[in-house]
Structure 1
Amino acid sequence: MQTIESIIRNLLSENVSIWGIANMENTPSHPYPELKRAIVFGLALNREVIRNLDSGPHQAYIDECNMANEKLTSIGMELEKKLQQMDYRAISMTASTSDINEKKLEAEFPHKTTATKSGLGWVGKCDLLVTKEFGSALRLNTVFTDAHLKAGNPMEKSLCGTCSNCIDNCPVNAPTGKQWDPSVHRDEIIDIQRCYGECQRASKKINFDHPLCGRCIIACPWTQKYVCEV
């Protein structure tokens, strides 16, 4: 009989680029505090699509993000179902950013929280998750559960060091340069109003109705390492 660990491993290793498990105890923003574990997983975006983000978003980038979002949401629903069939509680989020609170300009619960808590990466100076494997060129989803799974070691500090690429390449100087750690609030890292305004302008140029930019993604050396791999 398969264990819950082997079921999760088999499903995710065959369908996603990266995944981990986070211990969510004592997480203030946790929407389901009775569910103590989070399974977070991501899909790396196409290298060629990301290479062409230097001058801002384009249709291929939108299509790639939409495709990744749909696949991650589908995987989340499948994982939720498998956990429930084994009598565990499980709630899948979605990979879409449509749940953003337009007053606070933040998601109900950011996937990067589960990603840093599982050890997949850290939050960069542009306020995006950064991973050693893919930089910021990936989309994420999360499934919360009460299954007692072994969690990864959380990231406790940024690995950005003195790098300022995302700051230098931001058209509106939204990143403040503040280095992330789990105690640092988002507003210390980035001027989210400036960032959002630029995302709106960039999307308007290509007649897309959802704010997005992407320049800080390709500016990151960790993303560059990924897109330049042969």
Structure 2
Amino acid sequence: MSLQDELNNIALENGVQYFGVADLSEATDFIVEQGGSDLSAYPYAISVGIRLMDPIVDKLTHRDEKAALLNYKHHAYDVINSRLDVITSILSSYIQDNGYAALPLPSSKRIDDERICAQFSHKLAAHLSGFGWIGKSCLLITPDNGPRVRWATILTDSPLKPTGSSIESRCGTCNECVKICPVQAFTGRNYVEGESREMRYDAKKCEDYFKEMENNGQLAVCGLCVYVCPHGRKKG
């Protein structure tokens, strides 16, 4: 059994629904710009994803129900992020024990408050692994579960095989995420490789919205763009 198969099995045993490998060679400039030159030393990214619980996401429109919002923040955000961090740590240790370098990246930690971004884009790794496309919401949209997946990444020099390639946008004329956003943070533009995020998304609007909720003594929870995407909502 190859190292990649072993890692895949470990991931599945630890509750991951998505395990993929991305060739990062075509994204070097973007990776360096966002996270620094040290990250460009790794030729591959392992992308792992855990699907969110539909009954929790489906209650996000119930803005007056504190329990519904608390469930989302706790189970669909805090708990799953912790699970992802544990899984990437386990996988990284296994890679290192096999003689290769592995850098697990936090599932949800910001390093730049001005640009409002993390060290590395997990959705980029998932996109390049063939799991989906970048939607108008700037989320990774999977064909089967839409944006109802949280992601984490391991950078590595281990000899892995890419599991797929980037998928073209299937958003078409759909603007459900644009319309439902309470602060109109999305412009409705489709993702274009190399185009700045600001052409599609004003992260500061989201940031200010969360701060306003906190200042008003509310739970800082939104997720409406996750809820509304037709690729994730169940039919019938």
- TM-score between the two structures when normalised by the length of structure 1: 0.89
Structure 2: gaps spanning 5 or more residues: none
Contact 1:29–1:109 at 8 Å: present in 2 too?
A: no
In structure 1, how many angstroms separate the alpha carbons of the residues matched to 2:214 and 2:69?
Answer: 9
Residue of structure 2 aligned with 1:119, choices 123, 130, 154:
130
**Which residue number in structure 2 is paired with residue 83 of structure 1?**
95
**Which residue number in structure 1 is paired with residue 232 of structure 2?**
223
Contact 1:55–1:215 at 8 Å: present in 2 too?
A: no
Residue of structure 1 aligned with 2:222, choices 191, 213, 226:
213
Residue of structure 1 aligned with 2:192, choices 181, 198, 208:
181
Q: Which amino acid in structure 1 is aligned with residue 21 of structure 2?
A: I
1:35 aligns with 2:46: no
In structure 2, how many angstroms separate the alpha carbons of the residues matched to 1:109 and 1:55?
Answer: 32
Shift of 1:43: 0.6
Q: Which amino acid in structure 1 is aligned with residue 48 of structure 2?
A: F
1:20 aligns with 2:20: yes
Q: Percent identity?
A: 28
**Which residue number in structure 2 is paired with residue 44 of structure 1?**
51
Which stretches of structure 1, 4 residues or more, deviate above 6 A after TM superposition?
A: none
What are the Cα deviations for residues 153-189 of structure 1, in whole angstroms up to 9, with x where unaligned? Answer: 3225211000010011011211101101322221111
Q: Say which SS state the counterpart of residue 19 (structure 2) adopts.
A: strand
Change beyond 3 A, Cα 1:18–1:204: farther
Q: Say which SS state the counterpart of residue 155 (structure 1) adopts.
A: coil
Shift of 1:126: 1.2
What are the Cα deviations for residues 76-122 of structure 1, in whole angstroms up to 9, with x where unaligned? Answer: 000000000000111101112x3242111111211011111111111
Alpha-carbon RMSD: 1.9
1:172 aligns with 2:194: no
Q: Say which SS state the counterpart of residue 29 (structure 1) adopts.
A: helix
**Which residue number in structure 2 is paired with residue 198 of structure 1?**
209
In structure 2, how many angstroms separate the alpha carbons of the residues matched to 1:219 and 1:206?
Answer: 26
Decide which moves more: 178-187 or 16-25: 178-187
Shift of 1:223: 1.7
Contact 1:58–1:206 at 8 Å: present in 2 too?
A: no
In structure 1, how many angstroms separate the alpha carbons of the residues matched to 2:206 and 2:25?
Answer: 31
**Which residue number in structure 1 is paired with residue 121 of structure 2?**
110
Q: Which amino acid in structure 2 is aligned with residue 200 of structure 1?
A: K
In structure 1, how many angstroms separate the alpha carbons of the residues matched to 2:217 and 2:231?
Answer: 27
Q: Say which SS state the counterpart of residue 20 (structure 1) adopts.
A: strand
- TM-score between the two structures when normalised by the length of structure 2: 0.87
Structure 1: gaps spanning 5 or more residues: none
In structure 1, how many angstroms separate the alpha carbons of the residues matched to 2:93 and 2:69?
Answer: 35
Pairs aligned (count) = 223
What are the Cα deviations for residues 191-218 of structure 1, in whole angstroms up to 9, with x where unaligned? Answer: 222222223334555644xx54201111
Contact 2:147–2:229 at 8 Å: present in 1 too?
A: yes
In structure 2, how many angstroms separate the alpha carbons of the residues matched to 1:181 and 1:94?
Answer: 26
Contact 1:105–1:192 at 8 Å: present in 2 too?
A: yes
Change beyond 3 A, Cα 1:88–1:179: same
1:163 aligns with 2:163: no
In structure 1, how many angstroms separate the alpha carbons of the residues matched to 2:208 and 2:165?
Answer: 32
